[in-house]
Structure 1
Amino acid sequence: MNLRVAVLLFYIFQCIHGQPDNLGFISIDCGMAANFTYQDPVTNIQYVSDYGFIAPGENHNISSDYMKPSLAKGYFSLRFFPHGVRNCYTMRSLVMGNRYLVRASFYYGNYDGLNKPPVFDLYLGTNYWHEVNFGDSRSVNWMDIIVVSPADYLQVCLVNKGSGTPFISGLDLRPLETTLYPAVNASQSLALINSNRFHLGPTGNSIIRYPSDPHDRIWSTYDAIPNSTVISTTAVIQNNLSGIYDVPSSVMQNAATVINSSRIDFSWDPSDPSADVSSKYFFVFYFAELQNVPSNAVRQFDIIINNKTQNTELCRPMFLFVNYLSSIVHGMSNYNVSLVSAKSATLPPILNAMEIYLVKPITEVATDLGDAKAMMAIQETFGVIKNWMGDPCTPKAFIWRGLKCSYPAGDPSNITALNLSSFQLVGAISTNFGDLKALQYLDLSRNNLSGPIPDFLGQISSLILLDLSSNNLSGPIPDSLLQKSRNGSLSLRVGDNANICGNSTACISGQKKVNGTLLAEIIIPILATIALFIILFLLLRQVLKRKAKKRATHHEDESVLLENREFSYRELKHITDNFSQEIGKGGFGPVFLGYLENGNSVAVKVRSESSSQGGREFLAEAQHLTRIHHKNLVSLVGYCQDRNHLALVYEYMPEGDLQDKLRVDHSLGSNVFRLPLMLHKVLNICTSRVNQH
């Protein structure tokens, strides 16, 4: 299946299958078709496909030679992951801080015809769970872990370590009461390896699980106690008031004991290649008196593990009530367990059930929850494939492509940089970017983003670089971003967005569009304004020289002096909508905004009746402006000399007057051209000379 189609199906089915059922269970048959569900005939649990929980991967059935009638339906198919180092399932709508049992199941069944089961690693969130290994192609491997959820979701990740393609057959999640398994907390979880949860029932492969166990723990038969016998009852066995382990009655209705002996001895091998002297195991032993023994009979015993006696105050079973003893022991290659009758005992020891867990310290601190959720939402919004699965920052070996994170000691990671250039992002800029509170660098260039630039980007206080260039964004640049760019706290790039304008006041019909970075958009109008005043100074000086020449030269053909378009006064009234929008005022007269036939905006400078400038001075100014051309200077479009009506028509530069420019220059700092102080002196001299004449 095409990977992008798989991603689309993932989001379609997420709302259907991505959450717990009415029991709080999540029961996934990995590799089953997206539109299939079924009810397990033994447990009556409803199983769904995994399309609402993961996007990548491919489905496959096991080899027909391995499909036996006794094999559970959940092992008929699987999902394998030929691409990517880490592939993760996400189970949502959980309760942060609650305890959950998570089970991963694997059955190779020679699905790939290689007859070589792979070896790969399993992670729960950011922390290593265990290695997945198989004795042979027919081995069923399942493992449980009990964990406190650090968020309202949990992720199970399969990691390729170069020893074959990872795969998975089933994934289950079961909620647990907060009183259960108090040894599980935010700093450690309990992993059940090699099915080490046993009841001491009759010999044979007798499995007890849901609905007998409401938490769907799988209890297998343990028949490796030498010289033992089984005693049983059909009576209900009740848990004590604390209910720390809530053991099902069916698990406790059988017990192993010995005849003509005062001790039960057995050994247990972890069979765990990852275990070493630093490992710890958590044992729980369960006892219940199943026989209504005489009042003078005593059943009491000690529990000894590798010659170390455990706390035995509770090892005096009560009739039809659950008693337990739990203990943590350090890692060894083999454990010898003995239940030895106390001196006062008249009855031999008994053992009804036991669980043995590997203690898993929580060593990896996950990404800040707000950052992680924001990135997951961004991934869903844009359908990014890449390696965007699991925790964004942790472990470092699996950090998402395009991210940079901070790793403070003992604290959650934060995302500090996002380089998503050329990530094929389509649509509006996601609001979730605004939830990355520690973000300093955001590069969204060279995508197909559209719509306006959102204002929330300016509210990210830590942001120092924002690159939005080469997209299809439109509208004004928010003031919050403009202010940061002008004061030098933000480097802003918005070039190659055909429909972006500098600010909200400039976003009108016929506006000048941004074709470079924001700084270029600011610099050019400033330079043009400065150049205009220099030109005016030169024109005024020329006027002074002309006054010394002969008056006869003033009668030359004025129509030859102007090479630009000549407007009639009626035309000026039309293009300015009867001079309705005044945008400035100077000594010559007011300036009005207008629009030519082609939609280009112009500034129309009209001589007022109170102006001291005459027709010849007006034509002299126009003559010089028509002869000066530069890409950074305002261009003269034309003029009007209609009877007593004099006007100049300029290209419109929507950036304010000189006073505004001087303020802008002051606020922009060292990043833009500063108006030299000499210009003020020149303007003062120019004004003085004009007044003298």
Structure 2
Amino acid sequence: MPGVQAAWEAARRPVECALTCALEGLRSPKSRTIFVLVRGTKLPRIAQTGKNYLSDAYGVPSAVMQTAATPVNGSRIDFSWDPSDPSVNISSRYFFVFYFAELQSVASNALRQFDIIVNNSTWNPKPYTPPFLFADSISGTVQGQERYNISLVATENATLPPILNAMEMYLIKPMSETATDPGDARAMMAIQETFGVSKNWMGDPGSPKAFAWEGLNCTYPPAGLSRITALNLSSNGLVGSIATYFGDLKALQYLDLSHNNLYGSIPDVVGKLPLLVFLDLSSNDLSGPIPYSLLRKSQNGTLSIRFFDSPFDKEAKSIPLQGRKKMKGALLTAIVIPIVAVIALFVLSIFLLCRIRKEKAKRLEKGGFESVFLGYLENGNPVAVKVRSESSSQGGKEFLAEAQHLTRIHHKNLVSLIGYCKDKNHLALVYEYMPEGNLQDHLRDTSTSKSLTWEQRLQIAHDAAQGLEYLHVGCKPALIHRDVKSRNILLTADLGAKIADFGLTKVFSDSKTHITTEPAGTMGYLDPEYYRSYQISEKSDVYSFGVVLLELITGRSPVVPINDSVSIHIGEWVHQNLDQGSIESIIDPSMGGVYDVNSVWKVANLAPHCKQEISRERPTMTDVVVQIKESMELEAPP
């Protein structure tokens, strides 16, 4: 049985399916594979070259449509297909697409005409004739069966046999989530094609939520379509001018295009995004005029812009202002030279306000040489303001290090820095506000925090792991956090997790396997190999994260008290209890027994691997992300 197989590039297209369903397979240029499976009939291929065909509604490229199969002798093509998915049953449904294009010039007295029959059901309402040198398709849905018998049968009037260029079969899977807004989806497809983004971007950009494209954040309303609100393409090797397609993401609030090779001017459509509050264009080669729409929003405080390490910083005086509205030179200078100064001045005003009203401001946290206060921007949005103690002789270096690192990184699982200020002895960092506080308080202080379910704990672990993975893999050069702990994992209103506190973070060169540095971090989380050898690598963060995983399982602190005078490490406590009984003996009782024990076991096995004594035997954070994802799948309802 000869077969034809070709993979093609294609954009996501609407399909004949209810809104509550999605086609598994129409997800990616790389995931679409075509098979023509023919039994019992010799089907030679006919071909045509030198012609670019118009794509059909499902985006088939011309390379696929330039060949077709036809019987040598006879008037029909017969073949069958057996679904390979063992879960297919009578309630399953498939979506079939047959592709046709006439490749031969048919004489006026000849006719190619046939019917498409699937399991004795004719799919074409009238006899079908393929269009000459034009891609066409016939599609429909079928109920699940053990075998599908497919026939293409010439009509009585036909003088030529049937042909088949290609065929696709997709299993339709129910979805409880709505699709992404079509305008947003088209824009993302265009951005992917324009820049050749190498991320694992497949299918609907935002749906289902568990498989949303990397670098995207979306809203998921109870009714209606999901919208893309954040896009992080930092350090993705983008080359070229900023595509105007970004202006089609009308719900976008955060856009990070930093650390790429973008050049040319900034399109005005970016400044006209109605909801945009954060734009990072640093470390590119942009030049030309800054759109007035961006300058206006930056001046009135509704938009934070970063242009660090770009020609704008060096050539600001020569950059003309766009738009009809004239501004005074002093104001223009304050905005344009560089725009970073707007952020710094903006943060300074917040800092002074907090200092003046310190006795009235709500203190979120107090550390050894810093305090964190709740503040508000002019638009009413809450922020967290970390203020260094004026009396402290420590912390200045850590403050500046944290600001330096956060100006070049932006990820959905890392707390965002809105701005910072250094004015003599006054230092302040302004972060996005995380309303649910830190993970440690949720695990320990049950009197003020609602107990976390196992499903929520898994999601927090997955989010935090992705944040660390980005530091280790996505940042160039890589970063080592050095102080991973439950207190530095902050939670959003919907309990999404973000890594915070980058004061001890170190730059880690790809050409080195370790960095020699004096031990720093928090006892109980500190990598013993690092403590002994002063040699740190990204595996030190992996060790600390293993301790966090044990905290999530047990609800206990890294140092577990045995009696009034004796305490042991949480890793040893877990090991002792597992040796004496079942895993239930270590699971946090506040979860009320609501969990999949296999899911807990998987994380309980992962944590000791993260805490291996020898660092090279520990997994990478990429491995950890994969393992936690598998545990989440075990916990998910069938």
Larger Rg: 1
The structure where helix makes up a greater share of residues is 2
The structure where strand makes up a greater share of residues is 1
